[in-house]
Each structure stands twice: as C-alpha cells, then as structure tokens.
Amino acid sequence: MNKTVTSKEAILAASRKLVMEKGLPAVNMRSVASVCGVAVGSVYNYFPSKSELLTATVEEVWKEIFHMPERSVEFSGFADCVAWLFERIREGSRKYPGFFTLHSMSFAAGNREQGQKMMEHYFDHMKSGLLHVLECDQNVKPGVFNEILTPESFVDMVFFNVTSSLLEERGDCRPLLELIKRVLYEL
C-alpha cells in the first residue's frame, strides 16, 4: 500500500470512478483509499467522515452533470436550453447509473439535511440559468407572462418536469419541448 498523501482532487476523482463503475453505495473510506493506492488515513485527512466524503462526491457528480455553459448565447432559445439540460441528464444517467435515485437514499441514512441543501443549491443554480436564458430569448411572444404565470413560475414548472424525468427515467423530452414552444413562441 502506497502510504504517500494524495490530494483532495484525486480522492474525489476516485470516488466518481467508483460511482460510475459500482454505484454510490460503493463509496466508502476503504474503497476510495484502495482506488487511490493510499492508506485509509490519507482519505480521513481530507474527509473526517464517510458522510462528508459522500457529500463531496455527490457534489462533484452534480457539478459534472448540471454545469451550464457560462454563455447562454450558445442556446438558440429557451426550448434549446431545456433540450440541452434533458440531454445532460440522460448522459449523466448513462455515465452514473442509478445515481439520481441512490443520491436521495444515501442521504437518508447519512446527513440528510446537508444533502438536501446541496441538491437545492444545484437546482437553484440550474433554475437561475434557465431563467436567464428565458429572459434573453428574443423569440418569446409578447404577453405570455403576467402576474399569475411569471417567468419564474414557468421555469419552476419546466424544471419540475425535467427533474421528475430523473426518477421516472423518461428518455423523451419532445412532449415538454412541444408544450414550451406552444406557450412561448408563435408557431
């Protein structure tokens, strides 16, 4: 066993590799140390508990899957952005099988509050990005939004539909995209 100290980044890379190959339940101090080729104590130097290691691992996977491009101009419009998001989810589901359902279950046993806060943080980040793209979409027909159907409530509904697809493993977002186009654009 290599006793040399490793980096936090190497530990998280090993954790992501375990999630890809064996699923989230395979991530623990011993398995990560084994993949890194270091003593278990080296992992504890960076993550004092399994719960903290899991939280950081899940955060890294969320970052990889849901990171939006910095420039929303890459999207031709809101519907294009939603299609991109849906495709990212599908790619993430293929790369990290079972991650989305196991993520919530793993935090039920560990630090549920911390896991919930992290998930809310990433969801808020994504909704903020979607709202920005919607507000910049020059093709949205006038008068679509009012005091009842606001851009924020529209983004919430769309995001709810997209995230529910995580759990239901729906592979087709065309009905949602069609609905978005009918609401937002002149057809």
Compute mean pLDDT per 10 residues along the chain, 187 residues long, and list them. Answer: 70 94 91 94 93 87 72 78 88 80 52 71 87 96 97 97 79 92 93
Closest among 67, 159, 124 to 116, alpha carbons compared: 124
**Residue type at 68?**
M
Give this prediction's pTM: 0.78
CATH of 8-48, one of 3.30.420.40, 3.30.10.20, 3.40.190.10, 1.10.10.60: 1.10.10.60
Question: Rounded to whole angstroms, how far apart are CA atoms 57 and 156?
Answer: 26
Cβ atoms within 10 A of the Cβ of 50, count?
A: 19
**Predicted pLDDT of residue 171:** 76
**pLDDT score, position 98:** 75
Whole-Å CA distances, 106 to 10, 18, 27, 31, 123:
22, 15, 10, 16, 18
User: For residue 73, what is the DSSP state?
Assistant: G
Q: What is the pLDDT of residue 103?
A: 52
**pLDDT at position 73:** 46
CA distances from 42 to 6, 99, 156 (A): 7, 26, 42
DSSP state of 137: -
Count Cβ neighbours within 10 Å for each residue of 174-184 and write b for 16 or more, e otherwise: eebbeebeebb
